[in-house]
Structure 1
Amino acid sequence: MIKSPRLLFQILLSIFFSSYAEVGAAGQEIDLFNGKDLSGWKIVVEEGAEVDGASLFAVSEGVIHVYPNSEDGSQQPFAGIFTEESYENYRLTVEYRWGDDRFAPRADSVRDAGIIFHMVGEPVIWPTGIECQIQEGDTGDIWIVGQTRASSYVQPIAFNYDPRGDLLTRGVDRNPQRFPRGYCREKEGWNRIELIVEGDHATYIVNGHIVNEAIHMRYREDESEWSWMPLDRGRIFLQAEGAEVFYRNIRLQSLD
C-alpha cells in the first residue's frame, strides 16, 4: 500500500499523462520546431561575442545541431534560441543527445545545456525563468535563474528531490539556487524530457521517470521583497553552453 498521498499523486500524474499523450484528444498539440528551419525562434548570443549567432545553430533532417561547424576545443560563446511566443499550461517534450565536441571555456567540463521555461523579460544568456538542467549526470536538476524563486520537496540530508521530503524554497538571495534531481535517468543516445507545466507548478520527467518538481514559481521586476508575482507563463529557451548537442521533436500540448 502506498502511504504517502504525494507519492500516490505523482504516480497517478505520470500514468495520466502517459495515457493523455496516447489519446491526444483533449489538448491541441503543436510542433514548436518544424524540422526545416528556426521559424518561430530567435537567437541570442552572449554579450561581446564576435560570431554570428546563426552560425551556432544548423537544421538538418529534423534536428537542430548546436555548434555545427566549430572546431573541438576552440573558444565558443554561449548562446540560445527562444520562442517568439509565450506559453502557459502545457506539456512540453524535447529530445536531445550529446555530440562529441566540447568548447572553451568548458572544453574540460561535463557537457552542459538546458531548457529555460516561463522566460520573461529581456532575452539574455541566463534570463529570468526556471531551468530544466541538461547536463551529463545531472539532467533534471532545477536551476532558479535570474529574478526568480521556487520551492521543491527535498530529502533533508542530501537535499535532492524526494516527493516525501521537506518543502524548501530557493531563489534570489537564497543560495544555492539549484534543486538536484532525485536520480539520474539520462542514457546514451537520444533522451526525452517532458515538462508538465500547470500555472506556477512544473513536473520534470526524464525518459519516463519523474525526477523533480518546481512549486510556487515566482519572479520579480524590481528589488522589492513585496513585488513577487506568480511565474505562470513565458517563452521557452534552449541553451548552448559550450557543448555540441542535438535537439529534435520539440512539441507542446495544451492542458486547457
Structure 2
Amino acid sequence: MFKTLAFTLTLTLAAPAVAQPRLALTDVPKAAGPSVSLFNGQDLKDWDAWLGYADPAVTYKRPPIAPIGATARSAEIFKVVAEDGRPALYVNGRIWGSLVHKGDFKNYHLRLQYKWGKGRWAPRETQAPNNGLLYHSHGAPGVVWGTWSQAVEFEIMTGSIGMVVPVGEAISATANAVDDPGIIKPNLRYSPTGRVVTAKGGAADWNIEAYSDAEKPAGQWNTLDLYVLGDRAVHVVNGVPVMEVRDLRTDGQPLTHGAIQLQSEGAETFFRDIVLEPITALPRVVAK
C-alpha cells in the first residue's frame, strides 16, 4: 500500500454508492504452454526476502535509518507452514516487507489462494487486514519506502480486494473510473463505463478502487486470478472481475514484465497454489 493510506485507512471502506450491474468474465484464454508453480510447498528457495523498518510506523516518514533489508530476520516473517492440512506460504505481517519471486514473467495468468490469519500488528492492528499481490516488480529491493520493490499492486485488503495501486513514484496505471464519495480519497472506483483516469504512485490520484467486494468471510480461502498481457491486466476475485488496467508504465515507458512480489503489511496471511501459465490473450469483462 502507498503513503496516502498511512492516514486514511481508519475510514470504513464502502460498497459502491450507486447500484451497478454485475460483471462477468468471458473469452477466458486457454494456457499457451505448461504451467509453472511459484511455490514448491517445501521452502522459499525461489524467493528473495526483504524487510523494511523494525517499527513499521516510521515507514512513510523517511527515517534517517536503514531498513532491516535482506537478513536472516526474514525467517520470522516469511516461512512455509501447514494450514488446513496443506503446505502454505505464511506471511506474518508484524514487520513490513516483501517476498519477491526470482523469476521474470510476462503474458501470463497467475492464480493463487489466500486467507487471513488472526494476527494484526501495529500501527494497523485496528484497521482492515492488508496485504498485496504485486506484479511487474522490478528495480532495487526496498526502493519504495525502504520496504518494497517498484510494481503494480493487486490490492489484498478487506473491502478493497483487487484495487490497483502503483507502487513507486515512477509507476502509473490507467483505467476507467467513476467518482464514489463513499470511499477513501481520491474517491475513484473502477467502472467499464467510467471516464479515463491514470493513477500514479505518490500522486493525488494514487489508486483506483475495485468495482465490487467479492471477498469471502474471514477464515475462508479466496482465489485470485491475475491476467496480464503486455501493459494490460485484469484482476479477478473469486471468479468476479473487479478491475481492468492498461497503459502500465514505469518512468513513462511501457511496463510489460517483472517479478511477482507478496507483501507483508500488518496482517497474518496464508498463500497457497501459486500457479502461473502463459497466455496470448486477455479475457473480456462484460456487464451481466
TM-score by length of 2: 0.74
CA shift at 1:144, angstroms? Answer: 1.1
Q: Which runs of 4+ in 1 moved over 3 A?
A: 47-51
CA contact (8 A) 1:85 1:235 kept: yes
**2:238 partner amino acid:** N
1:249 aligns with 2:273: yes
What residue in structure 2 maps to residue 212 of structure 1? Answer: 243
State the match for 2:226 in structure 1: 195
Identity %: 30
Q: 1:141 aligns with which of 155, 158, 163?
A: 163
Contact 1:156–1:166 (Cα < 8 Å) also in 2: no
Which residue pairs with 1:111 in the alignment?
Answer: 129
Q: How many Å separate the matches in 2 of 1:161 and 1:251?
A: 26
- Paired residue total: 227
* Distance in 2 separating the partners of 1:39 and 1:214: 31
Residue by residue over 1:118-171, the C-alpha shift from the partner in whole angstroms, topping out at 9 and shown as x without a partner, is: 011012223211001001111111001101011101124553111111111121
Residue matched to 2:47: 41
**Cα root mean square deviation, aligned:** 2.0
2:174 matched residue in structure 1: 151
Name structure 1 gaps, 5 residues minimum.
Answer: 1-6, 71-75, 221-227
1:218-241: CA deviations, max 9, x gaps? 002xxxxxxx11000001100110
Q: Offset at 1:51?
A: 7.3
Distance 1:172 1:56, change over 3 A: closer
SS of the residue corresponding to residue 64 of structure 1 reads strand
Q: Within 5 Å, which residues of 2 pair with 1:30-109?
A: 30-47=36-53, 48-49=67-68, 52-60=73-81, 61-67=86-92, 76-109=94-127
- Kept in 1, the 8 Å contact 2:98–2:148? The answer is no
Q: For residues 82-136 of structure 1, what are the alpha-carbon distances to aligned partners after superposition, in whole Å with 9 as ceiling and x for unaligned?
A: 1111100000111100011111121121110001100110122232110010011
- Once the two structures are superposed, residues 183-227 of structure 1 have per-residue CA deviations (whole angstroms, 9 ceiling, x without a partner) of 00001200011110000000000000110111100002xxxxxxx
Distance 2:216 2:249 in 1: 32
